[in-house]
Structure 1
């Protein structure tokens, strides 16, 4: 019984369709039983005992298509889809259930247009802009588009343009023309906006040790904000970028987190988000109140303890 993935890590553009691919094998027979596959599942929530099939997950409603073999397509991917995905197959044999680990780590990144600087002129506003995506190299070419349809140029990630009143400029990565950045127009240069109070959202509600967890920070700002993540009572920033990713969260990661959004005008901090990582009891330890011999009639106390969250309940046996 085995599962192998075509790629252990995939990074793709927000809005596109991504295929998660794998291969699986099982014996043709076990004893007198002819092995037949009964069910194929891709999941990112739950575990081997209670996986949530992607096609039954409301967060993916209408966006999942199982293809030939064990390939699944996720349409219109979102940044919240960034997670670890696993494939599981179930056969007619009582022990014929198998999950491929560690799975496929999917990262989703939007194409972002940032205005570096601008200058007012009599004929309009000249702006220097840059386009980027975390999933693409700095050398990847980009397409710059006016008013949603007129291709101005196919060039590097940097572009300079003289805006008139009616112009709206957006960019898209070459090969991903249908998934452009939000557009900018001359109006935004006249009213620069400091970042709004950033908000933090989580990719998961009930957090269990070992789960992949993403925290996302967002704030409306012009020029676009950059983001930095912090943990309270920890010196220095944790990371930069709109997402804070835990590939396999641990109990030591419990704590209060917040992000800061910054542009040329101001820095603003989000409200604090508390992460409480749940985990099962550790191996219990029994301690006692006596030393040496115990004599009939003595008072004796035995204590059982185990690290757990939520706190464990205890049962004694002889």
Structure 2
């Protein structure tokens, strides 16, 4: 998935002297954050130099960072050389805005002075989604778009409170009475990267490990400065209208505030991000020691961390049929038959995890009355025996 330049760009041939060349399919590429882009190129060189057949000893792509070339192969695992014979294509996955730069291909041969760089190179612009807002007295129109000018625009998918809507269009009209909702849009095929638009006191749900972008829903004239904060403590996050959150963790849950300020005043709005995740840290605890006297009470508790909260199931001695689907398993008067190995499972719609086992041993108390009665019986038999004589 790449969003490329606005016009079909012909092959761009960078010619050197005596048959040295690098050919780029396009020198201007605009792509969406999170997508994958291929910079296609090929190269050539003379078949003979001073009656010697040259061989390629090194070939690589680079960008300039503070005027120093950065060799891309060691720069990041997201950069992949797809070299084959004279094909010198570069693939970049998981695009980030900081990947925007001019990329050049260079190759070297075993000849003195036998190297060539394709310059100018390929200029890559990485852009994120944006939401434009138009308000009237009866409705709000949200428009999802990218700043890339494209001949074949992508399809956009809209969500309301995390639920996918049928419309696959860049625009969405929202009634003002729906202002307690949150909306998000994504490019079709890249639904795991969404841009959220905040209405009045909205909230948004996402899954651990995903990426989202928050868009500050203000329009201001004169232009405003935008600042992002998190939580009641107003912890500073960043500047700008857009806040990107990558590889979200449960600790990222919370209230996010966007503040817009110009010489006419200051205003802010917030969105609550609820990060969902499967059960973790599933364990069993007992209200008393593992050795329990018969007739006593004991409660086993299944502990887990999950969002949404997990359902719990209890199992004994490897039996696949659950004993209970409550978080606590209680015995008001434990019996010897309750001895055994217990474990619990925690489950929500994102996954399931089981605990380690706990062994319960029920100790039987000696029936003193039984032994006392038995002793009296033996005593009577003993005395009767001597009376017989």
TM-score range, shorter chain: 0.5 to 0.7
Q: Unpaired runs of 5+ in structure 2?
A: 1-19, 204-215, 229-237, 244-259, 268-389
1:112 and 1:182 in contact (8 A); partners too: no
State yes or no: 1:62 paired with 2:77: yes
In structure 2, what is the equivalent of residue 280 of structure 1? Answer: none
In structure 1, what is the equivalent of residue 31 of structure 2? Answer: 12
Change (3 A) 1:29 1:11: same
1:179, distance to aligned residue in structure 2 (A): 3.6
1:71-150 aligned at under 5 Å gives the runs 71-117=89-135, 126-137=139-150, 140=153, 141-150=155-164
Q: Secondary structure at the match of 2:73?
A: helix
1:196 and 1:221 in contact (8 A); partners too: no
List per-residue Cα deviations over 1:191-223 (Å, max 9, x = no partner).
987855569xxxxxxxxxxxxxxxxx942489x
Q: Secondary structure at the match of 1:16?
A: coil
1:132 and 1:138 in contact (8 A); partners too: no
In structure 2, what is the equivalent of residue 161 of structure 1? Answer: 174
Q: Which of the pair has the greater relative contact order for Cα pairs under 8 Å at 6+ separation?
A: 1
Q: Secondary structure at the match of 2:113?
A: coil
Q: Distance in 2 between matches of 1:98 and 1:218?
A: 42
Higher strand share: 2
Q: Distance in 1 between matches of 2:217 and 2:66?
A: 47
Q: State the number of aligned residues.
A: 202
2:180 and 2:201 in contact (8 A); partners too: no
In structure 1, what is the equivalent of residue 186 of structure 2? Answer: 172
List per-residue Cα deviations over 1:230-284 (Å, max 9, x = no partner).
xxxxxxxxxxxxxxxxxxxxxxxxxxxxxxx87897599xxxxxxxxxxxxxxxx
In structure 2, what is the equivalent of residue 22 of structure 1? Answer: 41
Change (3 A) 1:169 1:36: same
State yes or no: 1:39 paired with 2:53: no
Q: Secondary structure at the match of 1:27?
A: coil
Q: Secondary structure at the match of 2:98?
A: helix
1:43 and 1:52 in contact (8 A); partners too: yes
State the structure with more CA Rg: 2
Change (3 A) 1:263 1:46: closer
Q: Distance in 1 between matches of 2:34 and 2:186?
A: 12
Q: Distance in 2 between matches of 1:17 and 1:180?
A: 16
Q: Unpaired runs of 5+ in structure 1?
A: 121-125, 200-216, 223-260, 269-318
Higher helix share: 2
Superposed CA RMSD in Å reads: 3.9
